[in-house]
Structure 1
Amino acid sequence: MHPRNSCLPVVRRALPRMLLILAGLCAGASGVSRARDLPTPVGGSVVVPLDHQAPDGRVAAIRYELGAPFDAAKPTVFVIADAQQFYVHAGATPELQASLFGDGFNVVGIPGRGSNSVVIRATRGTDGRTDWRVAWRVFNSAQWVEDIEAVRRHLLGERGQVSLYGRSGGAFLVHQYLAVHGDKVRRAWTQAPLNPVIVAGLGLRTDHFWEEIGDDDPDLQALLRQALARAPGERARWMRILQRQNFFVPLSRRDEERARLIRAMAAGDAATLEAAGKAYQVDAVDRMLASPQGVAITVRLYEFGDAVVARPRDDGIHPGEETFRDQVRPLLALREQGLITPPTFDLERLHRVDAEVMVLAGRHDHTADYRALIALSACYPHGRLFIADDNHVFEAMNRQGHATRLLRAFLAGGADSAAYRSAEADAEALRWRE
């Protein structure tokens, strides 16, 4: 499924125990039994330009995979992941079809160019090192959008409509596709869709760590400052641990676990911090960023936060923003030199999209601010919004099976269908109310 790449077997072996390694989007289909006797994956490839702005230049083959044999009588759903997500990978689509969508759809997974060895090699200079200007050109979201469009035309023809599914960064990519090719979409389900453009426009921040620990226990801020002052060499790793913790700890235990780690930092408790680093896959993230796929991951991460992190901040400690700056430093340097143009997103074009678009938001999401998602949903003439009293990975929604039931009903009949209204009523206890 993936083009040849020496590090891919290692990545594949890690995937069964984590859907994502960077974004931590471990929101699966809780409440749905694991599929058995899954069909052998089938699929194909579409040849696309390395740079869609230069269509006569070099090309690469973008792979796609089907969850089951294609049936022209069924609606088609594309599962969209971006560079920092790996729940769409070789052999994954049949299980995604069984666990998330059922057999009422053609389910198409598109791993994307981030793991394509031809595109990765194109980013290397003559010295073998990454040329970040080239990396930005071939891995920015506009290229991924046109790759998705190429697969749609290949499978469904020029006028064929598709439904889309994405979460977090993949959900942001769905909205980026809608802004360009919205007339090709029937329905779109987007779960915790990041949108840094709206966040920046509203003057919001997604990293509320400093305020939250102060509200929980005012002593924690002073303890953390003292710990970092005593061990400045540990700062980057400790920031990554605190940032990654959000993806692995249920909301009900978040404050307790944060306090435990901060006290461990203050006490120099290396064993506790080492265990946390392993549990939160901090070293695995570092290895992934250093791998060939890390080039595309870095570009996508830059798109997530440039508009927000470029703004001045107070003197507090913000693990999410600090970790982001460390991870995308090469691209921040190019932006500061005026050598790359910051990413853009045309909100005005969303007003003309006729598709029905679902936004599932988490009130306590540390990555996709629910207030920005209210604004995002309102951009669409047929936008729908459900704000869950939950976090970024929708731990409660998935544990109780609500997310999957809402998803299937929405994609099958829309938000006005009896099936969707029934699923929404069942999830009412988890709806957040101010």
Structure 2
Amino acid sequence: MPEDADKVRARIVERYGRLARAAHAQLQIVDCEPQRFNDGGFGAAAYGDTGELPEGAVRASLGCGNPVAVADLQPGETVLDLGSGGGIDVLLSARRVGPAGKAYGLDATPDMITLARANAAEAGVTNVEFLYGHIEDIPLPDAGVDVIISNCVINLSADKPRVLAEAFRVLKPGGRLGISDVIADDGLDPVHRADAEHHVGCTVGTLTETEYRALLAAAGFTTYTITRTQAATEGLYSAIIQATKPTAPPGTLIRPMSADDARQVLDIYQAGLDSGDASFETTVPTWGAFDRAKLPRHRHVAVEVSTGQVLGWVAVSAVSDRCVYAGVVEHSVYVHPDHGGRGIGGALLNALVQSTESAGIWIIQSGIFPENTASLRLHEKAGFRTVGTRQRIGRHHDRWRDVVFIERRSAIAGTE
């Protein structure tokens, strides 16, 4: 956490404690200038289905959208609201997931927790639980939540990367993130930006769309979209941010590759080269050379959850520094020889397809020896097509080798 995080937290808790007490006293509350609040579509104005909710929950709504409307909640799911306030989104979520599901609310303001619990009791909703804690340190175990929502709260954190990393941690593989937040235009004058943030109550600072995308990718999310919904003030917008954690075979996790994985990644790489049918290379590069060659947002590892062992990896390199080829990459995927047949290679390729499409990359390509029939089948299942065979393109272990050239064209990126 940044050095001033505790001070920021204390200031936020004190402010929202006052607002919670005002709501409990049946006063209408706003978290920024009243005109900005109304014009920006903040609070209960973003909802159309509050008729059966307690008046106190509606009165305490301070969000900038309706994340429940885009979270696609299903019966039986577990959902977590980061910064749940008076509980409006938790109560709406509880309706969607039904009695077989569970809705958690997490808030760092004791008065808000008290208010939310009172609102849940008044509504007679029993499949909810309100937790005291910070969104940078979620008090729930790994991989136990299907969906995370949040309504104009992440901008209040002094450590936004930690918030998104924690969200990734507690989501199940394939879990979804659906949040409302305020974002800023890229290149906005800092003085104007700070003034606009003050007007709409984002006193800890907003992220731009570019910054949000970078942080989501760094946390490990492989699909992410940001949709502006309404202008909050000049240069700032309410937005819906949606992201997905990559799916993985049972007992495994797909996450970003880090320098701590270097030894295991290179060992798996060398084992593939030793098979004789993975590459023209015979010896792996140093980690420094590997690190420099691979694009940072598109390197993923599959790990065993129980041990942390790396089971496989996937990464891409740019094919050219010419701008016309900015959306074309070449990839490699390797699985530990003791863990084939578990679906790890397919899951890694799916994660790669998702992360590259989210970044606007339109072609993933590679070359495979025709003798490597398992790799060819794997890529065919992942949507790759054979472009052609380059005959006798190079010598490997003193014999000429053909290479099957494959590619996958995105149906999303590069279509316009």
What's the TM-score, normalizing by structure 2? 0.31
More strand per residue: 2
* Higher radius of gyration, 1 or 2: 2
Larger relative contact order (CA 8 Å, sep ≥ 6)? 1
What's the TM-score, normalizing by structure 1? 0.30
